Structure 1
């Protein structure tokens, strides 16, 4: 089979270290105030804001069947 020459090119040590860090990130994770806050923001705050805006503007804008100069707001 072809391909017996693995690692022929010189590897960048910084990229190798970064790849190892990404692979083993779960082993070194620690809950801190910052990670708890970021988790709350991305898991609870952002989806709830998007959901609120979606419910608030549901049916307000109609893009289909409009011509140049028509307004997209229905009410």
Structure 2
């Protein structure tokens, strides 16, 4: 059974991807979004909701909001 040449080419490309990577404005923008913007948004959300909900020892019908 022969292997599909397209699958072999894809495998080779993903194995050697680091050799052909170039910094372009698009890749720089995407990297900046994942390194700085996304963690900052999660941090802002976590900081703004800190202490507002208490999920420990709650029963059915209890309110989880503490604010």
- The TM-score with structure 2 as length reference comes to 0.89
Q: Any residues of structure 2 matched to 1:12-27 within 5 Å, and which?
A: 12-27=4-19
Find out whether 1:54 has 2:46 as its counterpart: yes
RMSD, aligned α-carbons: 1.1
CA distance in 1, matches of 2:4, 2:41: 42
Is the aligned partner of 1:28 residue 2:28?
no
Deviations 1:24-50 (A, max 9, x none): 111111111111110000000000110
Measure, in 1, the Cα distance between the counterparts of 2:49 and 2:26: 33
Q: Which runs of 4+ in 1 moved over 6 A?
A: none
Q: Return 5+ residue gaps in structure 1 as ranges.
A: 1-8
Partner of 1:68 in structure 2?
60
Higher helix proportion (structure 1 or 2) = 2
Aligned residues: 67
